[in-house]
Amino acid sequence: MPTTTSASGSRPGGRSARVRAQVLEATGAQLVEHGYDGLTVDAVAERAGVHRTTVYRRWRDIGGLLADLLDAAGDDGWEPADTGTLEGDLTALNEEILAGVAADPPLTTALIAASFRSAQAARALRAFWEDRYARCAVVAVRAEERGELPPGTRSRELLVAATAPVYHELVLLGTPPDPHLPATAARTAALAARAGAFTGP
C-alpha cells in the first residue's frame, strides 16, 4: 500500500502529499484498531497530527476518507488464484472473500457500513468490486480454454452467482462463517455454468 501517491491538486509536492499520506495511514490504522465505530474524523486527524478542519476540507467526511483509501487499495496488483480448475478458482476466490469479511478487525464490513452513510464511499466500494470482478474474468476465460465451460459464458454473471451467497450469508444474514461455504457456493455456480446457465441471450 504505497503512500507516496501524489495529490491531484495543484501543489502536489511537499506538504499536501505528506498530509494526505499521514491522514490515509491514520485512517487505515484507526479502522483496524478501533473498527468503524471508532473511526471519527477527529480521531483520524489527531492521530495524523493534523487539524480537524484540514480533514473536513479535503475529504468532507469519513466516507471520503475511506473512498480515498479504497482508490489507493484498488491499485494493488491483485489477481485471482490459478488452481487449474474452475471450481478451484472460484473456491479460492470465495475463501478470500470469507477471510476478508470474517476478519478481525472487520475491515470489509466497515467499508460496507460506511457505504450506507456516504455516497462517496459507496461509489468507491462499488468501483473496487467491479474492478475485482473484471480481474476475475480471466477465470472464466481459462475455464473455457480448458473446455470446462461452453464458449460465450458471461463471466460477471458466473462470478456473481459464485460469490453472492458468501456475501449474503456473512454480511446480510449474519450466519457464523461456515468453512466449507466457499467450496459449496463455488461448486454450485460451476455446475450451473457447465450446464450453460450463463450462455446464450
Minimum distance of a copy of itself from residue 164's CB (angstroms): 4
How far is 23 from 67, CA to CA, in rounded Å? 13
Helix (H, G, I), strand (E, B) or coil at 1: coil
Residue 184, contacted partner among DNA, a copy of itself, none, CB below 5-8 A by kind: a copy of itself
Contact region for DNA (CB under 7 A) — 13-21, 90-98, 154-162, 175-183? 13-21
What is the rounded distance in angstroms from the CA atom of residue 181 to the CA atom of residue 199?
Answer: 25
Nearest distance, CB of residue 56 and DNA, angstroms: 4
Q: To the nearest 10°, the Cα dihedral for 69, 74, 80, 86?
A: 100
Report what 195 binds from DNA, a copy of itself, none; CB cut-off 5-8 Å by kind. Answer: a copy of itself
Radius of gyration of the chain (CA): 19
Contact between 13 and DNA by CB under 7 A: the answer reads yes
Tell me the closest approach of the beta carbon of residue 173 to a copy of itself, in angstroms: 6
Smallest gap from Cβ 54 to DNA, in A, equals: 3
Catalog residues that contact a copy of itself under the rule CB under 8 A.
109, 112-113, 116-117, 122, 126, 129-130, 157, 160-161, 163-165, 167-169, 171-174, 184-185, 187-189, 191-192, 195, 197-198
Residue 50 binds which one of a copy of itself, DNA, none, with CB within 5 to 8 A depending on kind? DNA
CB atoms within 10 A of CB 121: 25
C-alpha cell at 111: 467499508
Distance CA(56)–CA(130), nearest Å, equals 28
Q: Read off the DSSP letter of residue 5.
A: P
Cα(177)–Cα(162) distance, integer angstroms: 16
Q: Which does 54 bind (CB under 5 to 8 A by kind): DNA, a copy of itself, none?
A: DNA
Question: Footprint of DNA on residues 35-64 (CB under 7 A)?
Answer: 40-42, 49-54, 56-58, 60-62
> Exposure of 57 by Cβ count < 10 A (0-12 exposed, 13-18 middle, 19+ buried)?
exposed
Answer with the entry of DNA, a copy of itself, none that 92 interacts with (C-beta below 5 to 8 A by kind): none
User: Number of C-alpha atoms within 13 angstroms, CB side, residue 101?
Assistant: 27
Using CB under 7 A as the criterion, which residues of the chain lie in contact with DNA when the complex forms? 9-16, 18-20, 40-42, 49-54, 56-58, 60-62
